[in-house]
Amino acid sequence: MTILSGKARLAGVLGWPVSHSRSPRLHGFWLRRHGIDGAYLPLPVAPEDFATALRGLVALGFRGCNVTIPHKEAAFALCDEVDETARRMGAANTLIFREGRIHGSNTDGYGFLESLYEQAPGWAATDGPAVLLGAGGAARALAVALLDAGCPRLSIVNRSTGRAETLAESLGDSRVSVAAAPPLEGAALLVNSTSLGMAGQPPLEIDLSPLPAHAVVADAVYVPLETPLLAAARARGLRAVDGLGMLLHQARPGFAAWFGTEPAVDAELRAFVAGDIPETA
């Protein structure tokens, strides 16, 4: 039984809706593991109430919060200060409150890279070209992370070519191009940042046979843990990286800032969080 004192540190996640979020389960595990006097709360906030709610958390003495769909861009606009990563992404998912000011960061790209390092040991962004499926906010975060890590060439593929071209132009990097179909031959990494393959969504249908044997296939989707894309990759003997690792690792910087303890992502944490996620669609 968790008993909070009057000095308890508070944080949470703002979203609309927010009931699907696994962040309270994840942070709650770390709070119990480290015996911290604190709590991490799910906070459903409608878009029209977001600015008022966010300032309210600052006034209430919260240490900070995470922000999820659809508030990441609005959070960025309300920050008093943002780091370089958030600025490049135009969105913030991790907010830290200090002396009445809101400091914004974006840890999605960090979580993505850490997940790749963990689940595909030896992988490096410099290994070769990457193919990114999707052109939304998640795609932008992953693209920035890959480019900053040294990816030599990044191809963006999206159902709407116009959105892909807009993303490519906004990145302002000569290594980025737009393709009508995934250029998988010679690619070292294939990443799905779309909702295809998510529970309740159509599967992502793609022929993986052109990928070389050393390629890594990653999916930002983590419900279910084993998407059809990852199942197809494993069937071909390719290394597959699920979206759960990204969720776990992106949470580490915020937890450390709010609760004063560096948390670890390990098998026990993964099993606990995964216990609330279906294995397959």
168 phi, psi to nearest 5 deg:
-60, -45
Tell me which of 9, 27, 63, 72 is the catalytic residue. Answer: 72
CA proximity to 71, closest of 101, 98, 44? 44
CA distance 70 to 166: 20
- Residue 223, token pair as written in the block: 């419900």
What six digits make up the tokens of 101?
Answer: 């000011």
Half-sphere CA count of 103, side-chain side, radius 13 A:
12
In Å, the largest CA–CA distance within the chain is 59
Report CA 124 to chain centroid distance, whole Å: 18
244 touches 15 (CB < 8 A): no
Q: How many Å apart are CA 162 and CA 280, to the nearest integer?
A: 33
Report the SS3 class of residue 65. Answer: strand
Please say whether the beta carbons of 184 and 233 come within 8 A: no
Q: How far apart are CA 251 and CA 230, in angstroms?
A: 23
Q: Which residue has the tokens 């279906």?
A: 278
Please list, in sequence order, all residues whose beta carbon lies within 8 angstroms of the beta carbon of residue 16, skipping any fewer than 6 positions away: 44, 45, 46, 47, 69, 70, 71
Q: Cβ–Cβ contacts within 10 Å for residue 195, how many?
A: 16
Q: Is 72 a catalytic residue?
A: yes
What residues are labeled active site? Answer: 72
